[in-house]
């Protein structure tokens, strides 16, 4: 084998794989699929062929540390060198959380970044793997690019790679791979500095020392462990006993790295103890999602976005106010009410972070978020788990109230948007497609019809025209407005790796403060029934109950 400096380029013959179309967030498949000969290489070559600007420029590479991460990174390094990339910045041990990768791309003016992650999907040899491409602005590549990569993957016949030994990823150093420079960087430092520049660390430090306040952050054995230890631990002084599961593991310790009350069991247990924490938080596999809770009190992500928007001026970075906000279409309308009161625009985008990029770049919005535990701002071009936790800590420090009290005050001011998402996982793909086709076909007839006592006021198939570049993205989910003000949304997941998942999102507004304490499922029971009837869920799928309720 040649040494790193004079490595020769091999051109390897290959055949296309039909299933390389990126979904909501990159190409996500089982580890087994990615381990098939040429599978990863084909996709990466399609990427290098589609984004020619990478040659001669800087590329950032990292991942969430799951099984197959470092193998994939070594392949990506060899292929980047063979495809003329001038310089790669790669995280030590192959680690870069998704928001940290976005930060590093922007800070170093890189041409783009490759992030290996399947987000909150389980990891390990039997789990999932994924690859995402972020472009120059640090955000997920827009659909025009991901579609072009897919098109290239369908006609691929060969890929380029250099023959060389592995790059040592275990220490910070610089090296050459053929003509290309590789810099192994600290995955945490730039991101931690950015966080320190946005928030009032002094006040948060004081908060963490208060007797009546106690923090528990659960990294779920995923990528945010080292970030939490540096930022919450070393820079803010959080006790190490309050930082749990911070050792990243290839299989996330056998868990499901999705920050919600179902999977963050360590956190829920800790919060339930008599002397338990008063503020709890968790993040997902690649560090872009967040969950925030008070004692026995879970903050719904849609509400979280609204609270952050309403209190943004308490945070140094957003003191001057917000340019505008955006939420993905299925996210509840709680933030719309805040935007209205603040007199700023509120954009409704399709599901997936890539749709926020143009709005952020154009300065039309400052904050944005999704119901699926994602919140972010113009500080990077990804949703950002720890950023959201710090934002909350900053607000709690400024208001001197508990998480629950902050939410209750918010509902008093704006009213409460009861919200739930029901997922029907593991459906037969054909049946799920038939259900959606049936809904689309019924659209023209729905208006004025009643289901379980709910009357349809309007219904459509959500299409989005990007206000910045004019691109149109159609068929993004069926929306149904009810005469009482409630709303139902249906769409199929674009991140699964087997079968199909139907997501049904339901919400209703409650202005009466005496009714802000109801059980969400009970409060929405009628709308849930209507949602089942309208889409004929049982008839199409054979299911009368969802698999996951959030």
For ligand G1P, give the closer residue by CB, 493 or 526.
493
Residue with smallest beta-carbon separation from Zn ion: 119
Among 39, 217, 227, 353, binds ligand G1P (CB under 6 A): 353
Interacting residue with Zn ion among 41, 128, 190, 284 (CB under 5 A):
284
Handedness of CA 483, 484, 485, 490 (dihedral sign): negative
Half-sphere exposure of 306 (CA within 13 A, CB side): 28
Q: Does 382 bind Zn ion (CB under 5 A)?
A: no
Tokens of 453: 């006592």
Where in 97-126 is the site for Zn ion (CB under 5 A)? 119
Tell me, residue by residue from 480 to 509, as one string, x for binding to ligand G1P by CB under 6 A and - for no binding: -------------xxx-------x------
CA distance 375 to 191: 16
**HEC string of 400-435?**
CCCHHHHHHHHHHHHCEEEEEEEEEEEECHHHHHHH
119 catalytically annotated: yes
Site for ligand G1P, residues 101 to 120, rule: CB under 6 A = 119
How far is CA 268 from each of CA 16, 21, 420, rounded to the nearest angstrom?
Answer: 46, 37, 20
- What is the nearest approach in angstroms of ligand G1P to the Cβ of residue 449? 27
Q: Which does 495 bind (CB under 5 to 8 A by kind): ligand G1P, Zn ion, none?
A: ligand G1P
Catalytic residue among 97, 119, 283, 493: 119
> Is 226 or 477 the residue whose CB approaches ligand G1P more closely?
477
| Choice from 286, 370, 466, 507 touching Zn ion (CB under 5 A) | 286
- In the list ligand G1P, Zn ion, none, the entry touching 375 (Cβ below 5 to 8 angstroms by class) is none
Tell me how far, at minimum, the Cβ of 284 lies from ligand G1P, in Å.
8
| Pick 259 or 352: Cβ nearer ligand G1P | 352
When asked if residue 370 is in the footprint of Zn ion (CB under 5 A), the reply is no
- By beta-carbon proximity to ligand G1P, the closer residue of 221 and 503 is 503
Residue showing tokens 């909350």: 392
Residues in the chain: 550
Question: Quick one: which of 230, 370, 384, 417 contacts ligand G1P (CB under 6 A)?
Answer: 370
Q: By 3-state DSSP, what share of the chain in percent is helix, strand and coil, each rounded to 5?
A: 35, 25, 35
The binder of 353, among ligand G1P, Zn ion, none, by C-beta within 5 to 8 A per type, is ligand G1P
CA dist., res. 301 & res. 340, Å (int): 19
Q: How far is the CB of 11 from Zn ion (least distance, A)?
A: 35
Nearest to 450 by CA among 545, 536, 533: 533
146 near ligand G1P (CB under 6 A): no
CA nearest neighbour of 489 among 372, 319, 402, 407: 372
Q: Cα 175 to the chain's mean position, in Å?
A: 32
C-alpha neighbours within 13 Å on the C-beta side of residue 256: 9
List 74, 302, 351, 420, residue binding ligand G1P (CB under 6 A):
351
Residue 352 CB, nearest approach to Zn ion (Å): 12
The answer to whether the CB of 381 falls within 8 A of the CB of 360 is yes
Q: 364 contacts which partner out of ligand G1P, Zn ion, none, CB within 5 to 8 A by kind? A: none
In sequence order, the 6+-apart residues with CB closer than 8 A to the CB of 220 are 245, 252, 253, 255, 257, 258, 259, 263, 264, 266, 282, 283, 284, 285
Count of residues that interact with Zn ion, criterion CB under 5 A:
5
3-state secondary structure of 159: strand
Measured CA distances, 115 to 125, 131, 190, 407 (Å) = 19, 6, 17, 35
212 to 134, 168, 207, 233, 267: CA distances (angstroms) = 42, 46, 9, 18, 18
Choice between 324 and 376, CB closer to Zn ion? 376
Candidates 77-85, 177-185, 292-300, 367-375: pick the segment binding ligand G1P (CB under 6 A).
Answer: 367-375
Q: How far apart are CA 356 and CA 334, in angstroms?
A: 18
With contacts defined by CB under 6 A, how many residues of the chain interact with ligand G1P?
14
Q: In the set 233, 352, 376, 477, which binds ligand G1P (CB under 6 A)?
A: 352
Q: Which residues bind Zn ion (CB under 5 A)?
A: 119, 284, 286, 288-289
User: What residues act catalytically?
Assistant: 119
Q: Which residues bind ligand G1P (CB under 6 A)?
A: 24-25, 119, 328, 351-353, 370, 372, 374, 493-495, 503
């Amino acid at each position: 084998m040649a040494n790193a400096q004079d490595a020769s380029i091999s051109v390897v013959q290959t055949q296309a794989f039909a299933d390389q179309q990126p979904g909501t967030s990159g190409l996500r498949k089982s580890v087994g699929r990615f381990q098939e000969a040429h599978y990863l290489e084909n996709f990466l070559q399609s990427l290098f062929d589609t984004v020619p600007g990478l040659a001669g420029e800087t590329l950032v590479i990292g991942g969430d540390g799951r099984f197959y991460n470092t193998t994939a990174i070594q392949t990506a390094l060899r292929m980047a060198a063979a495809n003329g990339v001038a310089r790669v910045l790669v995280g030590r041990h192959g680690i870069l959380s998704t928001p940290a990768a976005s930060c590093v791309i922007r800070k170093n003016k890189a041409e783009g970044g490759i992030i290996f992650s399947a987000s909150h999907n389980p990891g390990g040899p039997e789990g999932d793997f994924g690859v995402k491409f972020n472009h120059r602005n640090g955000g997920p590549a827009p659909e025009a690019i991901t579609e072009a990569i897919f098109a290239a993957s369908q006609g691929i016949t060969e890929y380029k790679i250099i023959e060389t030994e592995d790059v040592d990823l275990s220490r910070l150093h610089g090296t050459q791979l053929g003509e290309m420079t590789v810099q192994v960087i600290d995955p945490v430092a730039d991101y931690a500095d950015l966080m320190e520049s946005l928030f009032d660390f002094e006040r948060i430090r004081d908060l963490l020392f208060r007797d009546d306040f106690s923090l528990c952050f659960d990294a779920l054995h995923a990528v945010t462990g080292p970030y939490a230890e540096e930022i919450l631990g070393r820079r803010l002084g959080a006790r190490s006993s309050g930082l749990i599961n911070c050792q990243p593991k290839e299989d996330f310790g056998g868990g499901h790295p999705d920050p919600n009350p179902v999977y963050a069991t360590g956190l829920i247990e800790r919060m339930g103890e008599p002397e338990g924490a008063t503020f709890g938080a968790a993040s997902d596999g690649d560090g872009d999602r967040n969950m925030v809770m008070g004692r026995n009190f879970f903050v719904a992500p849609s509400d979280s976005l609204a609270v952050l928007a309403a209190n943004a001026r308490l945070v140094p970075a957003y003191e001057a106010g917000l340019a505008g906000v955006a939420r993905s279409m299925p996210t509840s309308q709680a933030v719309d009410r805040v935007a209205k009161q603040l007199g700023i625009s509120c954009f409704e985008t399709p599901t997936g972070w890539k749709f926020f990029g143009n709005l952020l770049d154009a300065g039309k919005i400052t904050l944005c978020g999704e119901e699926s535990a994602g919140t972010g701002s113009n500080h990077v071009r990804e949703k950002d788990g720890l950023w959201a936790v710090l934002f909350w800590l900053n607000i709690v420090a400024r208001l001197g109230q508990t998480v629950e009290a902050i939410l209750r005050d918010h509902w008093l001011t704006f009213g409460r948007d009861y919200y739930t998402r029901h997922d029907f996982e593991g459906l037969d793909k054909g049946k799920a497609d038939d259900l959606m086709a049936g809904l689309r076909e019924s659209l023209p007839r729905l208006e004025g019809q009643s289901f379980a006592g709910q009357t349809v006021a309007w219904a459509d198939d959500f299409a989005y025209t990007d206000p910045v570049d004019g691109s149109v993205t159609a068929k993004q989910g069926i929306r149904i407005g009810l005469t009482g003000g409630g709303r139902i949304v249906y769409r199929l997941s674009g991140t699964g790796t087997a079968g199909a998942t139907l997501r049904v999102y339901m919400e209703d507004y409650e202005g009466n403060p005496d009714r802000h304490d109801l059980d969400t499922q009970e409060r929405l029971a009628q709308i849930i029934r209507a949602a089942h009837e309208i889409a004929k869920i049982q008839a199409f799928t054979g299911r009368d109950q969802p698999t996951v309720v959030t």
